[in-house]
A and B are shown apart, each in its own frame.
Chain A
Amino acid sequence: MKLKIAIYWGAACGGCDVAILDTHEKILDIAAAADILLWPVAMDFKYADIRRLEDGYLDVAFFSGAIRNSENEEIARLLRRKAKTMIALGSCAHTGGIPGLANMYGRDEILDRVYRSSESTVNPEGIVPEERYMAGTDEELELPRFYNNVRPLDQVVDVDYYIPGCPPASMQIYSAIGLIADDMLPKKGSVIGAGDRALCDECARKKGEKTINRIYRSHEKVPEPETCFLEQGFICLGPATRSGCGSRCIKSVIPCRGCYGPLDDVKDQGIKMLGAIASVLEPKDEKSINAILDTIVDPLRTVHRFSLAASILRRKKA
């Protein structure tokens, strides 16, 4: 029996979908193993088609993107109902991803910036999206509601598995689909298509004992090519981030930014990383410690680049 799958995006950029396509000729294997019933980026099915299915008809739904608006939530709930297995695909669905950074602000601040105050906005009439719009006299149109919060998928619906990454490595998606096809999925709630250890495990850079005396930004120093970024004073989230991406940023001389999310048992990837960084600072007196901390620009969003919405505190308190 061929698998029946749906692939959908919420508040996403489409990168996850492209990552599926990036399996190149192996996409044909996927097509051979599965009937795709919904995939907006590549195929033409409508929501109505899904609504018509029996509950649980789909074997698997891959959901990429965060829950940013009511449409995202609606389809997430719809797919959850229709699919036996719900998989959060990519950082946004897994931990909120880049869109999750919007949790540093409230809905009104964002709308104001986007539709009124941004330098490139031309909106003399001050039009902002309205949830209900009367087209003519009796026809009502609805726009999805722009939420105050960005949520990862599992804060909205029950999620069975997670495939992390921004985007997930194509081969990892392929192998995860293999697990599904072969019915070899691990226990519910597991992260699949990624490693069990942190990125450092697959990072080729030499790691020594770490003592940090200042933090550098990328333009402040040319990183030495073979040594651990963190040891050189660049903030690298590798130690707090799951492996599986193939250390692609590291190979491009960019310290890890944490898109593969936390490891098992870690409740808050970013705060954990802060604790680790603070631990390996050299000085013992408040003044010198603060001098180093001064060199860390924007610590909260640096360590929560992809995981703010899934962090323990989730957002800036109003």
Chain B
Amino acid sequence: MKRIAIDPITRLEGHGKIVIFLNEQGQVDNAFLQIPELRGFEKFVEGLPVEEIPRVVTRICGV
């Protein structure tokens, strides 16, 4: 089995990695996309003054 890794994927916002597994025939057997971009906004905006939310969540993606 052959393994192809595209690490990182580029020209887009965010981190990503693609791992493709080829079978003996060279055909795609399985493919995995990883997006390890978790930063926890869902949690840490809790309890912030509401006027802060728009200014904070814009830091999810600045592209």
Contact = CB atoms under 8 A, between A and B. Distances in A.
A and B touch in the complex (CB under 8 A): yes
Interface of A: 9, 11-18, 40-48, 68-69, 71, 97-99, 101-102, 104-105, 109-110, 113-114, 118, 129, 133, 135-136, 139, 141, 143-144, 146, 166-167, 217-219, 254, 257, 297-298, 301-302, 305
A13 B40 contact: no
13 contacts: A9-B15, A14-B63, A42-B10, A43-B10, A46-B7, A48-B7, A102-B40, A102-B44, A105-B40, A110-B44, A133-B32, A135-B32, A298-B47
Nearest to A103: B44
Contacts of B25: none
B3 A139 contact: yes
Nearest to A69: B36
Contacts of A12: 62
Interface of B: 1, 3, 6-15, 19, 21, 29-30, 32, 34, 36, 38-40, 42-44, 46-49, 51-52, 55-56, 58-63
Contacts of A97: 59
A11 to B, nearest CB: 6
Contacts of B6: 46
Contacts of A133: 32
Most B CB within 10 A of own CB, among A18, A141, A146:
A141
Given A40-B10, A298-B49, A135 B59 contact: no
B10 A13 contact: no
Contacts of B48: 298, 301
A41 B7 contact: no
A105 B43 contact: yes
Contacts of B32: 133, 135, 141
Contacts of A141: 19, 32, 34
B59 A13 contact: yes
A218 B59 contact: no
A63 B3 CA distance: 29
A104 B15 CA distance: 24
Most A CB within 10 A of own CB, among B7, B8, B49, B59:
B59
Given A42-B11, A143-B34, A217-B51, A101 B62 contact: no
A58 to B, nearest CB: 17
B62 to A, nearest CB: 3
B33 to A, nearest CB: 11
A135 B30 contact: yes
A102 B8 contact: no
Contact of B43 (A110, A143, A219): A110
A47 B8 contact: yes
B10 A18 contact: no
Nearest to A39: B10
Nearest to B19: A141
A48 to B, nearest CB: 7
A165 B36 CA distance: 24
A238 to B, nearest CB: 16
A114 to B, nearest CB: 5
Contacts of B11: 40-44
Nearest to B36: A144
B1 A139 contact: yes
Contacts of A15: 59, 62-63
B49 A217 contact: yes
A17 B61 CA distance: 11
B49 to A, nearest CB: 5
